[in-house]
Amino acid sequence: MSTILAKPDSLKNVILIRVLPLLFWFLGVTVFAWAVLDTRFRSAEGVLTGRICLPLSMGIALFIAGYTVAGKLRAFGFWLALALLGQAVALQLIQAGPYMRYQHFLPLSQIHPLLLSFLVVQAGLVVRGLVERWSSIGPWLRKTFKLWQLIGLGLIFFLTSATVSPRPSVYAVELIFAAAVQAINLGGIILAVWALPVNALASAKMCFERLFGPATVPDETAAPGRLDRFALLLAVWVFILAAALNYYAYQQHPHIPDEVAYLYQARFLATGELTQPLPPVPAAFDFYLMHFREQFWYPSPPPGWPAMLAIGVWLGAGWLVNPVLTGLNILVGYLLLRELYSRRTARLSIFLLALSPWYVFMGMNFMTHQFTLTCALLAAVGVAWAGRTGRSVWAWAGGLGLGMLAIIRPLEAFVVAGLLGLWAIGLGGRRLKVASLAGLGLATILSGALVLPYNWVLTGSPTRFPIMAYTDEYFGPNSNALGFGPDRGMGWPIDPFPGHSLLDAAVNANLNTFSINIELFGWSTGSLLVIALLLFAGRLRRSDYLLLALVTAIFTAHIFYYFSGGPDFGARYWYLMIIPCVALTARGLQFLGQQLDARGSRSILGDARVMAAVLVLCLLALVNYFPWRAIDKYYHYLNMRPDIRYLAQEYNFGRSLVFIRGDEHPDYASAAVYNPVDVYVAGPLYVRNLSPEVTAQVAAAYPGWPVWLVDGPTITGAGYRVVAGPLAPQELQGR
């Protein structure tokens, strides 16, 4: 009988240890099944939408609760699950989607009552938890920071939480709401790491030190070294992640107008040609950045990035070029950071870089910026190694990187060349030998001068860039020039004001700073607070000032450009700031850990608590932010879709004319990228259906070619749709 009737305590333990975990896990599986099967989480085409990220996070939160409910990590598991759900709910309140716009929170009147209720409950729990621990938090804050430092940190935290809106009242309300959401999530992270038992932290501390290096370092003396397994594994990780995102989310297809031109230009270069004969009816083949002249046409962007992309195109894997560069930049970035910081700081920096949505999503696309970073890093490493070893060969290598950078993005090349030139003559670093200085300068000039014959062939002048000739002709003189004035700008809808002025520059700076705060790490607390902590309260070192000089120079140079870069892939015009951002974040985290240990924290494990918080935030970004951004924004971004290549196989277009009905972008541009390089030889040939007259001219230029009519996404509201075909040219009348 005694074996049947369990004692109350024993029954309670059985429920706690056996029943509750199973119940949480069962509920987690149920939520996963609901998310997959419920059509409310799919579009009309049956594709998953960003809404599915919330139930997926719910399921993971339930698994966390099941794993921790019966042990010493119960309190930590509770706050971790709450933080996970808190970020997932916050993301559901954001208006982003696959559109050309900056993200904003929904007005309070449009937020679902259940989501708003969760935020209220989360806020109550976090505030209560912080109040209970304020007797420890308050004194530490007073000992560690001065009042002006706390005010500065608060302003950075507040002002970067949302971006400008056309109506100031709307902007003010969103700032308050967004900052409150960030603050709630920050409080939740603090409570989560506070709840970690000391023995768990001690074990974590040993793991962190094996992974990154000793936490207690007397100074930030640089520790030059070779690549190690840690850096190699991170490089492989980001390559796989960027490639997977390109394959599944980006669908190996360009989504931004510039990317179409880059791929077209890469295909020209892969065949060994700079231009192609003019199409028979140019208007029917026209899309952004394609320049038509008397006898030929060509893409107008600078040739540096398309030349690199052409290697991948020639190998049949153009979509893998940026993922490869993403992995390479981890390695070169690590080598550079080892020249500036300790091994621990360098490792922590590239760890943060490998988990940065800004970095990884930039590695997913077909844009220029990842290769720009590659060349800038190679140039900096070359100068650093030339100074340390005295070998001129590294200065020549650095000059080649600078010259290539000038052929990709000349403005960034100007900034980097100026800073590296100062570094090379001894300002902030070792002065290079005369032979190395000469090699750096000559290599830069010789490699950068390769663009001069390119310009001459295309524009008739070695100093006139094709992109400037294109914008001056199609958008007006000085439309793409640096400086201020009413003639700047191309009329983009998201350009805040006509022309360019200091007011535009201020708005652009706000947009880009906000983007970095959101995209740099995808943290629910914002990404800039730790950098602000270092700047306001830390002790800056020489290497920090070097990186801040780059940030300042990039910021200053772009004051004079009319456009912010738009919402595509974060603050992409400021992309060279990403290495300074991750390194200064690593320095800020180390400073915070030291302050926790030195200012009366609960134990001597302050650095371990900080690193635990970083891992929690990165985990949340991987679970919440990465899939949400990939699904909600970049899948069919700007309505660009690869459907036409599938229709070509399904309907066997073959050697035919395929008239695309719809707008230039996305309808025609999304199909035109699959045109043959020589539009006179093979098919299918995708042309724009502009008017009956143009259609007749195109059909007459290709006698005997069958014709198809296809409606684009802006007409169908979904994918491409074949309307008619194959038709004889005379059957086109009236269609």
Residue 536, CA distances (Å) to 147, 307, 552, 601, 662 in order: 11, 43, 16, 21, 53
The residues, ordered by sequence, that sit 6+ positions from 422 with a Cβ below 8 Å of its Cβ are: 428
Residue 2 has pLDDT above 80, yes or no: no
Average pLDDT over residues 12-24: 74
Distances (CA, A) of 636 to 44, 56, 426, 567, 651: 14, 22, 49, 15, 22
Q: Positive or negative CA dihedral for 61, 67, 68, 69? A: positive
At 4, is the pLDDT very low, low, confident or very high (cuts 50, 70, 90)? Answer: very low
Find out whether 395 and 382 touch, Cβ atoms under 8 Å: yes
**pLDDT (tens digit, 9 = 90+) per residue, 157-170?**
999 999 999 899 99
Contacts of 371 by beta carbon, 8 Å cutoff, 6+ apart: 304, 305, 308, 322, 325, 408
Q: What burial letters (b/e) apply to 6-17, b meaning 16+ CB within 10 Å?
A: eeeeeeeeeeee
Q: Distance between CA 650 and CA 183 in Å, rounded?
A: 52
To the nearest 10°, the Cα dihedral for 35, 40, 41, 44?
140
- Mean pLDDT value of segment 334-345: 95
Distance CA 611, CA 466 (A): 49
Q: What DSSP designation does 297 have?
A: E
Distance from C-alpha of 529 to C-alpha of 525, rounded to nearest angstrom: 8
Q: What is the mean pLDDT of residues 270-291?
A: 93
pLDDT band with cut points at 50, 70 and 90 for residue 55 = very high
Examine the pLDDT at 632 and tell me if it is beyond 60: yes
Number of Cβ within 10 Å of residue 652's Cβ equals 10
How does residue 3 score in pLDDT terms, banded at 50, 70 and 90?
A: very low
Residue 301 has pLDDT above 60, yes or no: yes
Instruction: Answer yes or no: is pLDDT of 367 > 90.
Output: yes
**Residue 734: what pLDDT?**
58
At 661 the three-state DSSP class reads strand
Residue 272: other Cβ atoms inside 10 A: 8
Cβ atoms within 10 Å, residue 696: 15
What is the predicted pLDDT for the residue at 735?
62
Confidence band for 599, pLDDT divided at 50, 70 and 90: low
Q: What is the pLDDT of residue 215?
A: 72
- Inter-residue contact 665 to 682 (CB < 8 Å): no
Residues 231-265: tens digit of each pLDDT: 999 999 999 999 999 999 999 999 999 999 999 99
HEC string for 382-412: HHHHHHHHCCHHHHHHHHHHHHHHHHHCHHH
Q: What is the mean pLDDT of the segment spanning 502-522?
A: 96
Residues 6+ apart with CB under 8 A from 659: 687, 688, 689, 695, 698, 707, 708, 709, 710, 732
Residue 14 banded pLDDT, cuts 50, 70, 90: low
Residue showing tokens 């031109």: 261
Q: Is the pLDDT score of 305 beyond 70?
A: yes
The pLDDT tens digits of the residues spanning 653-681 come to: 999 999 999 999 999 999 999 999 988 88
- Render pLDDT for 536-569 as a digit per residue (tens, 0 to 9): 998 899 999 999 999 999 999 999 999 999 899 9
Q: Distance (Å, rounded) from C-alpha 387 to C-alpha 431? A: 6
CB 83 within 8 A of CB 620: yes
pLDDT of residue 219: 58
In this predicted model, what pLDDT tens digit does every residue of 86-139 receive, in sequence order? 999 999 999 998 998 899 999 988 999 999 999 999 999 999 999 999 988 999
Spell out where 512-628 has E strands.
none
pLDDT given for residue 5 in this prediction: 41
The confidence score (pLDDT) of residue 493 equals 82
Q: Where are the alpha helices (DSSP H) in 168-214?
A: 168-194, 198-212
What is residue 731's predicted lDDT score, i.e. its pLDDT?
Answer: 74
Rounded mean pLDDT of the chain?
A: 92
Give the whole-angstrom CA distance, residue 527 versus residue 242.
21
Rounded to whole angstroms, how far apart are CA atoms 73 and 139?
27
Q: Which residues of 309-320 are buried (b: 16+ CB within 10 A; e: fewer)?
A: bbebbeeeebbb
* Whether pLDDT at 433 is above 60: yes
Phi, psi of 659, rounded to the nearest 5 degrees: -85, 120
Which of these ranges, 104-113, 180-189, 277-286, 487-496, has the smallest mean pLDDT?
487-496
Question: Span 289-294, mean pLDDT?
Answer: 91
pLDDT for 638 equals 94
